[in-house]
Amino acid sequence: MYKRITHVGIAVRNAEHSSKVFSKLFGVGKEHSEEVGDQKVKATFFKIGEAGVELLEPTSADSTIAKFIEKRGEGVHHLSFEVDDIDREIARLKQEGFRMIDETPRVGADGYRIAFLHPKSTNGVLVEISQKL
């Protein structure tokens, strides 16, 4: 079951600069930042009620975020939805014919297990499902 939008992921070149922009926009400071070694990004979180915004700055030129920015510029990268049971949800999505980028959940930022769906099977939108660890 889908519970809420966990966050909207936004690809940025410079998290420090973009944090200032979003702090000014939301009128609140960032919640925290952390490096996700696995994805070669620095993730910076803002809390907006039940949901959040995740700024993603590449920490390496071969990061998928670096490649995304090179191709499409900065901007909205993915939508993350919180689910009750990520393993069961992956099995259900596969059965429904969705293509998974991650067939097994991995550890993402902010204490979540995450899995991405292939945007070719979701109308061009990169969807992440997440479950709190």
Please state, in angstroms and as integers, the Cα–Cα distance from residue 37 to each residue in 17, 34, 98, 101, following that order: 21, 9, 27, 18
- The torsion angle over the Cα atoms of residues 67, 68, 73 and 77, rounded to 10 degrees, is -160
Q: How far apart are alpha carbons 45 and 85 in whole angstroms?
A: 23
Q: Decide: is 39 part of the binding site for Zn ion (CB under 5 A).
A: no
* Minimal distance, residue 60 CB to Zn ion, in Å: 18
Within 5-127, residue ranges assigned H as helices are: 15-26, 64-72, 86-95
- Can you tell me the distance from the alpha carbon of 118 to that of 126, in angstroms, rounded to the nearest whole number? 7
Which one of 19, 80, 112, 116 is in contact with Zn ion (CB under 5 A)? Answer: 80
When asked if residue 18 is in the footprint of Zn ion (CB under 5 A), the reply is no
Q: How far is the CB of 37 from Zn ion (least distance, A)?
A: 15
Nearer to Zn ion, 82 or 128 (CB): 128
Question: CB under 5 A: which stretch of 14-22, 47-55, 62-70, 115-123 binds Zn ion?
Answer: 47-55
CB of 18 to Zn ion, least distance (A): 15
Closer CB to Zn ion, 54 or 57, in the complex: 54
Residues in contact with Zn ion, shown as a per-residue x/- string from 49 to 78 under the rule CB under 5 A? -----x------------------------
Q: How far is CA 28 from CA 19, 48, 52, 54, 105, in A?
A: 10, 9, 12, 14, 31
List of residues contacting Zn ion (CB under 5 A) = 9, 54, 80, 128
